[in-house]
Chain A
């Protein structure tokens, strides 16, 4: 018995080693970016991989002020918050309707939404740009919020519909018997019960919106979001090389728990032209 327990512990330790290495590989880019962001220009050139010896926050101040990150940051926060809020609201309402209500054409609507998932963004970029321009929404945060909502809504609706379909229909019927109308059923019953799915959706959509460059670049051409700002920084010769690691720190802020953030961090930590 004791021998078996010892064997089990040993095998657990053996399994723990590759897992720890994997975990380190995810953490390392974050360490690399933060470590370099705190270095002076000289410190960075002399020892790119070593631990910072004379930490400074000047790089953050430069990025925040001179590279207009403060403005980009506000843009990103407002646009992401607006789009995610709108996405959660709409997808919860539509998901509830598609999952619980009986109306003609319900299946067709759901299939059409599913079909929309299969169209890559790149295919519709030109008509999308013309539509945004035609509506006078170019270079407006509202335009970008609506664009994100339009592009990410099909998946959000699909997820919420699938979640609400798993809830017992009797809950809706009980609420109707209790006198709740459509919006009251949604507000008092479906929305609180949909919290786990909404939380997941909120995280995913925040990542999509925060990390997006392509749609943002098209809609918000003059004002820029943080990601577009960082992408532009990488091609620019004006800011010092030290501005980019702080930039990648901003970039990582809302998405440090995701794999996409790891990808973002890796690319940010890659060598760039001084």
Chain B
């Protein structure tokens, strides 16, 4: 449905998007994630046609759309700030694109009402945006996109202005909408929970380049590099400095651990970063390491325990049984199969 072919964006001498290649299948829900300034919103705006493309091509629905006007691309966009026309009612906002198309008032009203019913907005059609709550405004913005029946929906951090509870509700609504409409959706967020829960595939961006593309669980379980491993997952993966002790073993936190399943051989003495997720540190069996608890983040059903395995080796562990206390020294266990190794450049060692 969407093909980005080596697209780049330069502002003056500064490259914001650097030769991105990406294919999005029809009906797919793709989420762009990355830290602030990584170019995820710029890339979305390039697909929308709101940002000129310095080089490369954008294809949508099999047609080259690099220089096409936004409307001619058959895409609809939901903005972070909603961008509702404040002088128009909800119905006028939703029907604006149809009005520009030249549709009659009766036909417009019928289509707007149909879209409004899907989003439970039927009772708000005559209100102005100022008289709506944040969640309602967001639904109107989505309704404005739906009513056009576009090939592709683009979402630019649509939930970032909502409070936590509303964000969860709207997230579920967007997921439901994708199941109902089955349209292609591209979604930008910096919230990895949104990315993990909504996406069919996640695109992780950094410095205008794609770091990794894959299913959420693939990115979580099998990251290509240190950046993706650290970016996906909350709390982030623990990274422990280690040294290769043999072709398939590393010395880390004073222990020598054999890492199973490595297809490449480690050079003895090679410096590595050993990645281990917080939930993998409380296995019932495996290699045991002592942890001096320094801080406990109690969440009720579970806790995040911050401590050190050795001097200058801080870690976070997810604790699901009992109530850990600051100052305690407790044994942690991990399965060596859960270790992820990265070389000095941050590339994954598989």
Give A residues with C-beta under 8 Å from B. Answer: 168, 170-171, 173-180, 184, 188-189, 192-193
Is B50 an interface residue, CB under 8 A from the partner?
yes
Which residues does chain B contribute within 8 Å of A178, judged by CB atoms? 71, 96-97, 100, 144, 148
Which residues does chain A contribute within 8 Å of B222, judged by CB atoms? none
- CB < 8 Å neighbour of A170 from B81, B96, B144: B81
Are A173 and B50 neighbours in the complex by a CB distance under 8 Å? yes
Are A184 and B50 neighbours in the complex by a CB distance under 8 Å? no
Is B252 an interface residue, CB under 8 A from the partner?
no
Which residues does chain A contribute within 8 Å of B101, judged by CB atoms? 179
If over half of A's interface residues share one DSSP class (helix, strand or loop), that class is named, otherwise mixed; here it is helix
B156's nearest neighbour on chain A, judged by CB, is A170
Chain B min CB distance to A270 (Å): 46
Most chain B CB atoms below 10 A, which of A168, A178, A193: A178
The list of the 3 closest CB pairs from A to B, nearest first, reads A179-B71, A170-B83, A178-B97
Chain A min CB distance to B100 (Å): 4
Chain B min CB distance to A176 (Å): 5
Residues of B in contact with A, size category: 20 to 34
Are B81 and A188 neighbours in the complex by a CB distance under 8 Å? no
Given known A-B contacts A179-B101, A180-B100, A189-B85, A174 and B71 have beta carbons under 8 A apart: no
Are A173 and B83 neighbours in the complex by a CB distance under 8 Å? yes
A178's nearest neighbour on chain B, judged by CB, is B97
Which residues does chain B contribute within 8 Å of A193, judged by CB atoms? 85-87
A-B residue pairs in contact (CB < 8 Å), sample of 8: A177-B48, A177-B97, A178-B97, A179-B100, A188-B99, A188-B100, A192-B87, A193-B87
Is B121 an interface residue, CB under 8 A from the partner?
no
Which residues does chain B contribute within 8 Å of A179, judged by CB atoms? 71, 97, 100-101
Are B79 and A173 neighbours in the complex by a CB distance under 8 Å? yes
Chain B min CB distance to A105 (Å): 17
Interface string of B68-98 (1 = CB under 8 A from A): 0111000111011101111100000000110
Inter-chain contact total with CB atoms closer than 8 Å: 57
Are B83 and A168 neighbours in the complex by a CB distance under 8 Å? yes
B101's nearest neighbour on chain A, judged by CB, is A179
Chain A min CB distance to B98 (Å): 9
Are B100 and A184 neighbours in the complex by a CB distance under 8 Å? yes
Which residues does chain B contribute within 8 Å of A168, judged by CB atoms? 81, 83
Are A176 and B69 neighbours in the complex by a CB distance under 8 Å? yes
Q: In the bound complex, how far is the Cα of B157 from the Cα of A170, in angstroms?
A: 13
Are A176 and B71 neighbours in the complex by a CB distance under 8 Å? yes
Q: In the bound complex, how far is the Cα of B148 from the Cα of A174, in angstroms?
A: 13
Chain B min CB distance to A49 (Å): 51
Q: In the bound complex, how far is the Cα of B79 from the Cα of A249, in angstroms?
A: 54
B45's nearest neighbour on chain A, judged by CB, is A173
A169's nearest neighbour on chain B, judged by CB, is B83
Which residues does chain A contribute within 8 Å of B87, judged by CB atoms? 192-193
Which residues does chain A contribute within 8 Å of B86, judged by CB atoms? 193
Which residues does chain A contribute within 8 Å of B81, judged by CB atoms? 168, 170
Which residues does chain A contribute within 8 Å of B100, judged by CB atoms? 178-180, 184, 188
Chain A min CB distance to B113 (Å): 18
Are A174 and B48 neighbours in the complex by a CB distance under 8 Å? no
Q: In the bound complex, how far is the Cα of B79 from the Cα of A178, in angstroms?
A: 13
Which residues does chain A contribute within 8 Å of B96, judged by CB atoms? 175, 178, 180, 188
Which residues does chain B contribute within 8 Å of A170, judged by CB atoms? 79-81, 83
Which residues does chain A contribute within 8 Å of B77, judged by CB atoms? 173-174, 177
Q: In the bound complex, how far is the Cα of B84 from the Cα of A193, in angstroms?
A: 12
18 more CB-based (< 8 A) A-B contacts, given A173-B70, A178-B97: A170-B80, A170-B81, A171-B85, A173-B83, A174-B77, A174-B84, A174-B85, A176-B69, A176-B70, A176-B71, A177-B70, A177-B77, A178-B144, A178-B148, A180-B71, A180-B96, A184-B100, A193-B85
Which residues does chain B contribute within 8 Å of A173, judged by CB atoms? 50, 70, 77, 79, 83
Chain A min CB distance to B53 (Å): 15
Are A174 and B83 neighbours in the complex by a CB distance under 8 Å? yes
Q: In the bound complex, how far is the Cα of B144 from the Cα of A178, in angstroms?
A: 9
Chain B min CB distance to A190 (Å): 10
Which residues does chain A contribute within 8 Å of B85, judged by CB atoms? 171, 174-175, 188-189, 193
Q: In the bound complex, how far is the Cα of B77 from the Cα of A176, in angstroms?
A: 10
Q: In the bound complex, how far is the Cα of B83 from the Cα of A171, in angstroms?
A: 5
A193's nearest neighbour on chain B, judged by CB, is B87
Most chain B CB atoms below 10 A, which of A177, A179, A184: A177
Chain B min CB distance to A147 (Å): 34
Which residues does chain A contribute within 8 Å of B83, judged by CB atoms? 168, 170-171, 173-174
